[in-house]
């Protein structure tokens, strides 16, 4: 090689390989381990999601019971419920956003380090996506159930099970879906964009960030 | 001299930081050639641009002008995946604040780069144990960073930087957070690795102890290379410096 007089040709032959893409299972493994070891921190983040959805679900659950349309009071109460449900959604939105944003931004340095060790941007994003999706779906499911249980429990204790017909159960099914979709969506919205931003920074910028 | 003798070359590096109205040229035309297997210390007061130079050489930050060649490849020409390959296989990084992943054990931290390199798990673990033994932490494999002292954490970081047999180790103030004795041990370890494994070591430092072991010392001042000294001259220099300190 040293005998080659044309330096430019020699340079053209030197190529750097492309970094390999790791399989999804690797990201899954690392994410799960992260949640397990950061258990207390994950629990706090998850309880932020849980509380938001539980509040939302408990308010929504009271809408599952038929309203006595002849009573003005009952109609006014139903309207208040709608208003409360909107508020609940807002509170839950802010709560989850806050919990997830914190948990991602406090790990910017870790993201920078991983990139120094050869992690690809999308692998880092995948880690945070899996973690957020897992925590979001588990906490939302639990949050929905507890919120629903409290409202329905109180209703059953005070008014009996007379209102729990077919419409109630189909409504319940709808509420499960709604709670989980909202919970997971907000969780991902709060976690993935900042993680992507950190992954796309030059490593030195991510390393420098102090939270 | 054939070009491939140099593992790192920089040409006319300029890095500009804008701080409000003020424009700071952290690097102002740096040309530096580093040979394979050398132990280089980049010295200079804080704010001299040595960390900026370190970041540019390591591909951690992009210079505004000029180029960095690693093994004769211009880093500016690489796409994200090629750059990641370079960081994974060719360069090992050591930081002042260790930068270990807090949720992982010593062994997991050391094997992480092998995971990114696609090494099979058992081979990666074997390599991790071997490296932790080399840095003298064979008995601390499953400890988390919080359970280790500063010196031990830096040893884990050194082991991690070697995981994929890099050609270059970049160490930014590796002794900056350590006491005198631990710092000396870390310097000694780096020197050994340099001799035994032939890895090129580039440190940015203002630790004068580092001068003793360096093949060459690059002095940076105001974003420029003030002087480059090699070993023969260094000994005298150190004598006077230590004399001055005493």
pLDDT at A4: 42
B60 within domain boundaries:
no
Encoded tokens for B156 = 């884990």
Rounded to whole angstroms, the Cα distance separating B43 from B238 reads 13
pLDDT at A82: 81
How many other CB atoms are there within 10 angstroms of residue A138's CB atom? 17
DSSP per residue, B175-193: TTTS-HHHHHHHHHHHHHH
Rounded to whole angstroms, the Cα distance separating A151 from A98 reads 26
Chosen from A113, A116, A201 to mutate, greatest number of chain B CBs within 10 A: A116
Comparison of pLDDT for B246 and B152, the residue scoring more: B152
Lowest-confidence pick of B85-89, B100-104, B211-215, B235-239: B235-239
A100 within domain boundaries:
yes
Rounded to whole angstroms, the Cα distance separating B12 from B39 reads 22
B6 within domain boundaries:
no
pLDDT at B235: 58
Percent of chain B with pLDDT over 90: 64
A6 within domain boundaries:
no
B35 within domain boundaries:
no
Rounded to whole angstroms, the Cα distance separating A180 from A141 reads 6
Mean of the per-residue pLDDT values of chain B: 89
What is the domain range of residue B164? 40-46+81-245
| Residue range B69-115, pLDDT digits in tens | 999 899 999 999 999 999 999 999 999 899 999 889 999 999 999 99
- Check whether B39 has a pLDDT greater than 50: yes
In Å, how far is B56's CA from the nearest CA of chain A? 10
Beta bridge partners of residue B91, listed in sequence order = B168
Rounded to whole angstroms, the Cα distance separating B171 from A1 reads 31
Beta-sheet strands, E only, within B132-215: 168-172, 200-205
Encoded tokens for B26 = 């952290």
Closest alpha carbon to A30 in A102, A179, A134, A169: A134
**Inter-residue contact A54 to A147 (CB < 8 Å):** yes
Comparison of pLDDT for B35 and A65, the residue scoring more: B35
pLDDT at A78: 80
Question: Which of the four pLDDT bands, split at 50, 70 and 90, describes residue B234?
Answer: low
Query: How do beta strands B65-70 and B39-43 pair?
Result: unpaired
Q: How far from B173 is each of A82, A148, A177, B98, B102, CA to CA, in Å?
A: 60, 56, 53, 10, 20
What is the domain range of residue A101? 23-208
Question: Domain of B94: which CATH number?
Answer: 3.40.50.300
A15 within domain boundaries:
no
Closest alpha carbon to B170 in B236, B72, B86: B86
- Check whether B31 has a pLDDT greater than 80: yes
For residue A15, the SS3 value is coil
Report the domain count for chain A.
1
Encoded tokens for B206 = 């203002």
B111 within domain boundaries:
yes
Report the domain count for chain B.
1
- Check whether B181 has a pLDDT greater than 60: yes
**Cβ-based contacts of A16 with chain B (< 8 Å):** 73, 78, 82, 85-86, 90
A5 within domain boundaries:
no
Chosen from B83, B86, B147, B170 to mutate, greatest number of chain A CBs within 10 A: B83
B68 within domain boundaries:
no
Question: Which of the four pLDDT bands, split at 50, 70 and 90, describes residue B237?
Answer: low
Q: Is B60 on the interface with A (CB under 8 A)?
A: yes
Average of per-residue pLDDT across B191-195: 92
Encoded tokens for A63 = 């809408």
Q: Which chain A residues touch B if contact means CB-CB below 8 Å? A: 1-2, 7, 10-11, 14-20, 22, 26, 30, 33-34, 37-38, 109-110, 112-121, 123, 202-205, 207
The enclosing H or E element of A139 equals: helix A121-159
pLDDT at A8: 45
Parts of chain A with a pLDDT under 70: 1-14, 210-211
B1 within domain boundaries:
no
Closest alpha carbon to A55 in A24, A83, A82, A85: A85
Q: Maximum Cα–Cα distance for chain A, whole Å?
A: 99
Closest alpha carbon to A115 in A21, A199, A17: A199
B17 within domain boundaries:
no
Beta bridge partners of residue B242, listed in sequence order = none
- Check the CA dihedral B104-B108-B109-B115 and report its sign: negative
């Amino acid at each position: 090689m040293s005998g080659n007089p044309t330096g430019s040709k020699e340079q053209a032959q030197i190529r750097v390989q492309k970094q390999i893409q790791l399989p999804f299972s690797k990201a899954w493994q690392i994410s799960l381990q992260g949640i397990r070891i950061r258990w207390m921190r994950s629990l706090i983040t998850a309880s932020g999601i849980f509380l938001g959805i539980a509040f939302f679900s408990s308010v929504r659950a009271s809408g599952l019971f038929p309203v006595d349309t002849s009573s003005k009071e009952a109609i006014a109460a139903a309207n208040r419920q709608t208003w409360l449900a909107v508020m609940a959604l807002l509170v839950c939105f802010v709560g989850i956003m806050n919990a997830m944003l914190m948990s991602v931004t406090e790990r910017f340095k870790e993201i920078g380090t991983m990139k120094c060790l050869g992690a690809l941007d999308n692998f880092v994003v995948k880690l945070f996506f899996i973690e957020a999706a897992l925590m979001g779906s588990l906490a939302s499911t639990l949050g929905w159930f507890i919120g629903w249980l409290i409202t329905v429990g109180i209703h059953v204790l005070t008014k009996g099970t007379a209102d729990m017909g077919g419409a109630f159960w189909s409504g319940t099914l709808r509420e499960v879906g709604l709670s989980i979709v909202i919970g997971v969506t907000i969780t991902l919205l709060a976690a993935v964009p900042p993680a992507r931003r950190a992954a796309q920074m030059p490593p030195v910028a991510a390393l420098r960030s102090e939270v | 001299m054939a070009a491939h003798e140099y593992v790192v070359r920089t040409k006319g590096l300029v890095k500009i930081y804008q701080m409000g109205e003020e424009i700071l040229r952290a690097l102002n035309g740096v040309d530096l050639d580093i040979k394979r297997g050398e132990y280089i210390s980049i010295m200079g007061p804080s704010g001299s641009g040595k960390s900026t130079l370190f970041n540019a050489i390591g591909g951690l930050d992009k210079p505004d002008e000029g180029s960095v060649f690693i093994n004769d490849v211009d880093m500016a020409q690489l796409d994200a995946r090629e750059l990641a390959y370079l960081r994974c296989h060719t360069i090992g990084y050591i930081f002042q604040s260790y930068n270990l992943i807090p949720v992982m054990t010593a062994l997991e931290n050391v094997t992480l780069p092998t995971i990114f390199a696609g090494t099979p798990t058992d081979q990666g673990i074997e390599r991790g144990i071997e490296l932790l033994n080399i840095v003298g932490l064979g008995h601390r494999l499953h400890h988390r960073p919080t359970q280790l002292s500063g010196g031990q954490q830096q040893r884990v970081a050194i082991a991690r930087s070697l995981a994929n047999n890099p050609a270059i180790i970049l160490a930014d103030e590796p002794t900056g957070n350590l006491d005198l004795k631990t710092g000396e041990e870390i310097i000694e370890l780096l020197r050994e690795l340099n001799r035994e494994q032939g890895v090129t070591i580039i440190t940015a430092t203002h630790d004068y102890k580092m001068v003793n072991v360096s093949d060459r010392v690059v002095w940076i001042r105001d974003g420029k290379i003030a002087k480059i000294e090699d070993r023969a001259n260094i000994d005298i220099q150190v004598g006077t410096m230590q004399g001055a300190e005493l």
